[in-house]
């Protein structure tokens, strides 16, 4: 079977609503004999043919089963940093809680035990990972799991503490 046909058949059978984002590692198992470069070429052809959409480096969307719930940046962040401790904080958490005056559009801020970086996700927006040295056991009482985002989320007190610790602009805070 042609490699592209194998990919499309597998995606049609296995991608489900709520599970339509895949990493290169997820798809590599379909092609154990392909080199990494050949797999990337195959995925590039799948993108050009419209079978997949590239979200960012190494993450692909099977859009036939994608329901736009506004969570794609969060789901992508969870995939990219699956091996790290991550939680939604800073402007993203404070905006959702109504504590800052502006809503970040297509930009999310994630505290991460991994290194700091900014990931461009094209038309979907930007993920900003900010390194933290905090351990889960130190802040567990200030976190809750956000099922829709598939990530931990800071409460207001922790998000404010993170804003100060990372020297973010506090001018947007609503004074009450």
DSSP letter assigned to residue 105: S
Predicted confidence at residue 68, as pLDDT, reads 77
Is the distance from CB of 85 to CB of 129 less than 8 angstroms?
A: no
Predicted local distance difference test score (pLDDT) of residue 18: 74
Q: What is the mean pLDDT of each run of 10 residues along the chain (176 residues)?
A: 90 85 93 93 95 95 80 95 96 91 88 97 96 96 95 96 91 71
Q: What is the pLDDT of residue 11?
A: 92
- Delimit the domains of the chain by residue range: 3-65, 76-165
pTM of the model: 0.90
CATH code: domain 3-65 is 1.10.10.10
Residues whose CB falls within 8 Å of the CB of residue 85, separated by 6 or more in sequence, listed in order:
112, 113, 132, 135, 136
* pLDDT for residue 176: 60
Q: What confidence score (pLDDT) does residue 24 get?
A: 94
């Amino acid at each position: 079977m042609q490699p592209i046909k194998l990919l499309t058949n597998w995606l049609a059978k296995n991608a489900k609503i709520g599970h339509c984002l895949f990493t290169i590692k997820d798809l590599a198992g379909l092609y154990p004999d392909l080199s990494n470069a050949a797999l990337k070429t195959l995925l590039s052809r799948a993108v050009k043919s419209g079978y997949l959409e590239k979200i960012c480096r190494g993450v692909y969307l099977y859009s036939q089963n994608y329901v736009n719930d506004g969570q794609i940046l969060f789901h992508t962040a969870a995939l990219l940093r699956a091996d790290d401790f991550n939680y939604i904080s800073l402007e993203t958490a404070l905006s959702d809680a109504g504590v800052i005056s502006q809503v970040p559009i297509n930009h999310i801020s994630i505290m991460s035990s991994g290194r700091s970086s900014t990931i461009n996700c094209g038309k979907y927006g930007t993920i900003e990972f900010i390194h933290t040295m905090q351990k889960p056991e130190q802040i567990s009482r200030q976190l809750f799991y956000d099922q829709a985002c598939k990530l931990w989320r800071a409460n207001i007190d922790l998000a404010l503490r993170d804003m100060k610790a990372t020297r973010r602009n506090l001018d947007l805070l609503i004074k009450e």
